[in-house]
Amino acid sequence: MLEQGMARREAPVYLSVARVDAHAFTARHPQIHADLSQARILRSALMKPEAELYVERLHERVERLAGAPGPSSSQADADPQDVLR
């Protein structure tokens, strides 16, 4: 998923993974039942204030990447506007 997001020639998505232990995660999210010793959180940093306007489209793109087949998928080279809609 991370490689597929970065592979786009236009509008790549750069994500990283934060790892936190179960106690720290459930302290912030008490409605979640921890069934593993740690949680992995996908994150992306938007550096400029004007990037706030991109958050919804970025979130949609990440959701698509999460449900997409592996890096050999044709979606990796799809038109960015098709993926962002």
Domains contained in the chain, number: 1
Q: What is the pLDDT of residues 10-38, one digit of tens each?
A: 878 889 999 999 999 999 999 999 999 99
Q: What is the pLDDT of residues 48-83, one digit of tens each?
A: 888 888 888 888 888 888 885 554 444 444 443 333
Nearest to 83 by CA among 63, 72, 41, 2: 63
Angle CA(34)–CA(40)–CA(44) in degrees, nearest 5? 140
Structural domain of 36: 2-84
pTM here is 0.58
Confidence class of residue 85 from pLDDT cuts 50, 70 and 90?
Answer: very low
pLDDT at 69: 58
